[in-house]
Amino acid sequence: MSALFAVLLGACASATAPSAPDAAGAVSYARADSARLDAKSYFVSFPVTDGGRTWSTAGILRVPYASGTQPRPAIVIVHGSGGVDSRGEHYAAALNSAGFVTLEIDLWAPRHVRSAAERPRNVGETLPDAFAALRFLSEEAHDVDPTRIGIMGFSWGGVVSMLSATQANRDRYATGAQAFAAHAPLYPVCWIYNRAPGYEFTELTGAPVFIQAGTADAYDRPDRCVTLQQSLPPATQAIVSVRMLDGATHAWERREPDATINDPFSHEGQGGPVDLRFSERATRASTEAAVAFFENRLGSVSRAP
């Protein structure tokens, strides 16, 4: 590991910690309920440079304990407009259990963003962070195979996952021949691509893109992700797939209390209310599909014994 790594919570990183509240609302102290049994966690920080500016982006690196082929594939996880929440931890746990290294990054910390209202004006402003995470995993994380690094994200992070698949953005932000090998955006606001400046999505790197979205997502029409895929050039269509989850709203995996937000990008850019409703059914389906996608594209890894 690089000197940039600091063990999460110092010497307590490998100790069993109180887990999330159980169904009755009480904290469980059972060893089997610990979220840290599948992977070792580290706080990490890495430099990001763009347009003559340099800053540091932080994240949580999780390296599975499971024995398997070394080096391993890894997944960069990118949060939504509200910042790091339960979604990233959920997918990280599922991917770690399948043997993947994960790096969940925090785009907002270096930008002093405390709410969605303070986010940058354009998703493209955060692309340098995603490619810096790719560079970090490729060059500093010696557990990781640099040719098998994928990316996934939610909403804002889903857009990052989409835009990082274009050849233009890879050429602008990546180092050398580095490139993401698979992209799994979740509800990435499909209406905006090839309609708004900075959101061009035609010439891709060749890495597969697997979009998952809900039919009850108020950011888009129910068919918008499918029509986007069908509007792409034939060669691009072949590497972009879409799965629509019936009845799922935006952020269906979010474990925080259900909410209704207002966002100017919703309703195809007209703005308005957006429901965020947790769905266990959709969460199970999307999680299993995302893990299967990465296993298929990056190679499966031995699961934890």
Is residue 6 assigned to a domain? Answer: no
Question: Residues 90-139: pLDDT tens digits?
Answer: 999 999 999 999 999 999 999 888 877 888 889 999 999 999 999 999 99
In the chain, the number of structural domains is 1
Is residue 26 domain-resident? no
pTM of the model: 0.89
Higher pLDDT, 304 or 181: 181
The CA angle 283-286-290, to the nearest 5 degrees, is 135
Express each pLDDT in 16-55 by its tens digit: 333 444 445 567 777 777 766 789 999 999 999 998 999 9
6 band by pLDDT with thresholds 50, 70 and 90: very low
Q: What is the pLDDT of residues 47-63, one digit of tens each?
A: 999 989 999 999 999 99
The predicted-structure confidence for 135-147, as pLDDT tens digits, reads as follows 999 999 988 999 9
**Residue 124 to residue 164: CA distance in whole angstroms:** 9
Phi and psi at residue 148, in whole multiples of 5°?
A: -130, 60
Find the domain containing 55 and state its range: 38-298
CATH number at residue 201: 3.40.50.1820
Asked, for residue 54, whether it belongs to a domain, the answer is yes
How far apart, in Å, are the Cα atoms of 220 and each of 47, 112, 193? 35, 29, 12
